[in-house]
Structure 1
Amino acid sequence: MGMTQKAQTQAAQVEDLRAYYVDRYSQPYRLGNPIRDLNPLVLFVFLLAIAIASVALPWPVLAPTIGCVLFVVIAILAGRAKQFIPLYLKLFLGVGSVLFILRVFLIAPEEGATVYWSWGDNLSLSTTSLAAAARFTLVVMSLCGALALFFQLVPAKNLMLALQGVGLSSRSTYVVLSSFQSITDLQKMSKVVVDAQKARGIEMEGGFFRRVAAFFPIITPVFLAAIGQTEERALALDARAFNVPEKPSQLSFLPKVGVGQWLLVLVSLVIAVGSIVLAVVL
């Protein structure tokens, strides 16, 4: 009697486990947010349309400013504000400020523009250079914001599933996914090497020249690790049967692109084409 009850219990556990995995792999992969659950290619088209409108609309400063603000709003609605906003601020402070400073002093003033400062014939600060530098910087930041937000909202796995869904081979998707993963692995490896160098008493902080001198001891182990990972990923292509001509099993898949997402694509195309037409007409 005891053996029979034990066998029934094991059978019930096996059935529960089977039901769990059937339910797990029969449902599309979701992230739990309406924006992040959009098809990655649809989301890319939408963000690209905002970036195109920021560049093409005939409002030199206002259009890219609105584009940058929209990216922040989308990040907040998608629940990625803590990850995106600090990154975007670093782009503004690091890249944007350098671009603005270089442009603002190198653009020659137009006739009738107010010149605030000048040095020789090449360097000057005027209303023309301020407007042009602000326009150029905001346009670049809008394009960078679209790209940065896309990779904050879309995991590499989802992007590869979307590309595979439109016909890209599984081998190609694995190579691209491995490339993304190698960047993350190298970042982690560099942090490990830095901590190890600090534990050995090597100064890793301080002035510019000290940081440059400490940079080379980090590069060698990270470079060797990258070479080793490349070989491992090449072997994984054969170990995981990527060279087999038969169609592989797919345990994860994205939700189908519904009517709402196609409407979003249509709206994105209207925004992009409309902004270009306005730029040509006006």
Structure 2
Amino acid sequence: MLSRLNPLTTLAASGAAIALTMAASNWPVSVAVAAAVLAAGTGAGVMRRVLAASAVILLPLWFSLLVLHGLFFPEGRIVLAGWGPARITVEGLAFALEMGTRTTACVLVLLLFSFVVNVADLVAMMTTRRIPPQFGYVLASTLTLAPAITDQLSRIRQAQEARGLVLGGSLLQRVAAARLQMVPLVLALIQEAAERAHALDARGFSSPGPRSTYREVADSRGQRTFRRAVLGLAAAAVILRLCASWFGVPVLPSLSAGNA
């Protein structure tokens, strides 16, 4: 379902979800956004890929948040347990929970968008909307960077194994093998970037004037209305957040504030 939507629709929905999450700065809102993303990922059939990629990013993040804020939160008052300078406080755990859920929701939104969007259609839509081509190229390169690195690393690994290099074994052997793979990987990415630059110049990427695309991407009136609505809602949430911060009034009650 998500893959059949216009790329600008999924982009607007993703941006609005992140803006609402950051503006609310409230863990129930973050949990609701994360749950909605997981439900959408299940419907799109990319749930397993989203969870696998998010685990690599979020597990170290949650660990660092619990260590830094759960044990060494300077504003903590309600102490649950203590070992010298390290203290588990209610305020520290609440801050780690709010920060972790907020970041988790944003990461899940971005990963879901990257897995369901058609990059070629997205660039084509940006071209028809007269968006600067540099922005479209940066966005498309970002979305295709991880698959490009994975494919390049797989080719390097296969070439090294064909020459008799042992890439398995103990942890030290794996670290040494990874070091040997990094140099050709970086050189290959630099060479690919130079080739892309020459190809873009040959196609008049930096030339001024109107542009066109041969790709026809469906875009209904309902989707255009939806994009305006979610972007307006996100803008209103950001404005409300800014006004609340100026006057010192919380937009939504936070967990740490409730325990203060």
Q: TM-score, normalised by structure 1?
A: 0.72
Q: Please name the residue that 2:111 is paired with.
A: 148
For residue 116 of structure 1, give the secondary structure of its aligned residue in structure 2: strand
CA separation of 1:211 and 1:117: change in aligned 2, threshold 3 A: farther
Structure 2 counterpart of 1:36: 3
Q: Quick check: 1:280 aligned with 2:244?
A: no
2:17 to 50, 58, 77: 50
Task: Describe the superposition over 1:175-223 as per-residue Cα deviations: whole angstroms up to 9, x where unpaired.
Answer: 6545654553332111121233334443323454333322221122222
More relative contact order in 1 or in 2 (CA 8 Å, sep 6+)?
A: 2
Give the 5 Å matches for 1:77-96.
77-96=43-62
Structure 2 partner of 1:70: 36
The whole-number CA distance in structure 2 between the counterparts of 1:229 and 1:273 is 42
Deviations 1:112-165 (A, max 9, x none): x1x2332323x2112222221111111111121121121112122122122222
Identify which range, 66-75 or 213-222, moves more after superposition. Answer: 213-222
Selected match of 1:221 from 168, 184, 194: 184
Q: Max radius of gyration: which structure?
A: 1
CA contact (8 A) 2:21 2:105 kept: yes
Q: Structure 1 CA distance, aligned partners of 2:139 and 2:132?
A: 11
Tell me the equivalent position of 2:63: 97
Structure 1 counterpart of 2:61, one-letter code: V
Q: How does 1:243-254 map to 2 (within 5 A)?
A: 247=210, 250-254=213-217
1:28-50: per-residue Cα shift (whole Å, max 9, x none)? Answer: xxxxx3x3333333322322332
Tell me the CA shift for residue 87 of structure 1.
Answer: 2.2
Measure the CA separation in 2 of the matches of 1:64 and 1:249.
Answer: 39
Is residue 46–residue 265 contact of structure 1 (8 Å, CA) maintained in 2? no
Distance 1:259 1:179, change over 3 A: closer
Residue identity matched to 2:81: W
Q: Aligned with 2:81: secondary structure?
A: strand
Q: 1:215 to 1:274 in 2, by over 3 A?
A: closer
SS at match of 1:135: helix
Aligned-pair CA distance for 1:96:
2.9
Give the secondary-structure state (helix, strand or coil) at the position aligned to 1:168: coil
Mark the runs of 5 or more structure 2 residues left unpaired by the alignment.
245-249, 254-260
1:137 corresponds to 2:103 = no
Q: What number of residue pairs does the alignment pair up?
A: 245
Partner of 1:188: 151
**Cα deviation, residue 255, structure 1:** 1.7
Quote how far apart the aligned CAs of 1:107 are: 1.0
2:23–2:237 contact (8 Å) kept in structure 1: no
Structure 2 residue matching 1:229: 3-state secondary structure: helix
Task: Check whether the contact 1:78–1:153 (CA below 8 A) recurs between aligned residues.
Answer: yes
Displacement, 1:232? Answer: 1.9
Distance 1:91 1:128 in 2: 25
> Which letter does structure 2 place at the counterpart of 1:189?
Q
Larger deviation: 206-215 or 153-162?
206-215
Three-state SS of the structure 1 residue aligned to 2:112 is helix
RMSD: 3.1
More displaced 10-residue stretch of structure 1: 224-233 or 204-213: 204-213
Shift of 1:172: 6.0
What percentage of aligned pairs have identical amino acids?
A: 22
Q: In the alignment, which of 194, 197, 206 is matched to residue 231 of structure 1?
A: 194
Q: Match of 2:90?
A: 127
Residue 161 (1) aligns with residue 124 (2): yes
Distance (whole Å) between structure 2 residues aligned to residue 173 and residue 267 of structure 1? 21
In the alignment, the residues of structure 2 paired with residue 187 and residue 149 of structure 1 have an alpha-carbon distance, to the nearest angstrom, of 18
Partner SS state of residue 280, structure 1:
coil
Distance 1:130 1:179 in 2: 34
Quick check: 1:194–1:218 contact (8 Å CA) kept in 2?
yes
